[in-house]
Structure 1
């Protein structure tokens, strides 16, 4: 986190001086008042300036990038950060590289574990809760498309048979994809049941 200390005749003057030097707006920083100004005798003798410390807030996506680099370097993974997208409190990171099968793991279990740890690390220091999605060569995007297609097919089956369908255990992210895919269907309701890591989505007819 970039930080600077500045003095001024007043707290506002010290803050503005720090903002000018850092080249940022006040909304982008955290401010600590270290010393209040003291006016001396006759306004001259014993004057003491205000002292502030101004810290530039680190954006959640930058924190996520730093934490991910530390995690993957520790795992000795050969990778490249392809892109980081931020939208509506969601940070989506896509990486590429030689060892991506190792990082994905069996049925995406390793990738899910790394994503979970990364989310915990980022939210431990972020001011507002964010959701982090870690993807490998668009593995999750392709999987999400497959899940959405599966959800629609199963909802059609539920309508035909008039019987509920219980899906296989899924991660929270996968379950969210199913719920979102079917939330606009006026005939279908979805809910989750069971305990992690065996929690499943149930697709049923609305009563």
Structure 2
């Protein structure tokens, strides 16, 4: 990603935050080693709770709108993750613990276990953590808000 594209993303982010009446600053970080183009936007604001919203719903909506605006302007999709107040960072740590505990339960009980009510980025964290595991397999099933993550023993 070149400097011109980063500048465009900065401008879009600034406009969106201004429209939402959110004061603060942000940093754009390129994610290296990901299979697709990815950016992390770290937002620093005193309005953390407002930006995160109930169970992260507002943050997820902000991220979606930002991703769509950037895709439209650049003509291609770039995975954008927005974090504020270390919400996603802390949530990802909890998800890693959940994934490892679920793996241990699957192995000890010898049957699949469902993890319901995860957002798409949360399922992705679990999938990426378990994808190279030789003992269990993770997969998502269902549609929309009813989508669940299944962890089962590898046969």
Point out 4+ residue stretches in structure 1 off by more than 2 angstroms.
61-64
SS in 2 for 1:71: helix
TM-score normalized by the length of structure 1: 0.68
The Cα of 1:127 is off from its aligned counterpart by 4.3
Residue 117 of structure 1, aligned match among 61, 65, 70: 65
Q: Residue 84 in 1 paired to residue 28 in 2?
A: yes
| 1:49-107, Cα deviation, whole Å (9 max, x unpaired) | xxxxxxxx831x322221121111111112221x2111341110101111110110011
How many residues align? The count is 150
CA contact (8 A) 1:100 1:136 kept: yes
| 1:1-55, Cα deviation, whole Å (9 max, x unpaired) | xxxxxxxxxxxxxxxxxxxxxxxxxxx7xxxxxxxxxxxxxxxxxxxxxxxxxxx
**What are the equivalent positions in structure 2 for 1:162-177 lying under 5 Å apart?**
162-177=110-125
CA contact (8 A) 1:189 1:204 kept: yes
RMSD of aligned alpha carbons: 1.6
CA contact (8 A) 2:30 2:39 kept: yes
Q: Which has the higher helix share?
A: 2
Q: Distance in 2 between matches of 1:58 and 1:115?
A: 21
SS in 2 for 1:123: helix
| 1:110-167, Cα deviation, whole Å (9 max, x unpaired) | 0001001111111112244311011102211111111011101101000001121111
Which residue does the alignment assign to 1:58?
4
Residue 71 of structure 1, aligned match among 16, 20, 31: 16
Gaps of 5+ in 2: none
Q: Which has the higher contact order (CA 8 A, sep 6+)?
A: 2
Q: Which has the higher strand share?
A: 1
SS in 1 for 2:143: coil
Q: Distance in 1 between matches of 2:10 and 2:94?
A: 28
Which residue does the alignment assign to 2:44?
96
CA contact (8 A) 2:114 2:151 kept: yes
The Cα of 1:189 is off from its aligned counterpart by 0.4
Residue 202 of structure 1, aligned match among 129, 150, 154: 150
Larger Rg: 1
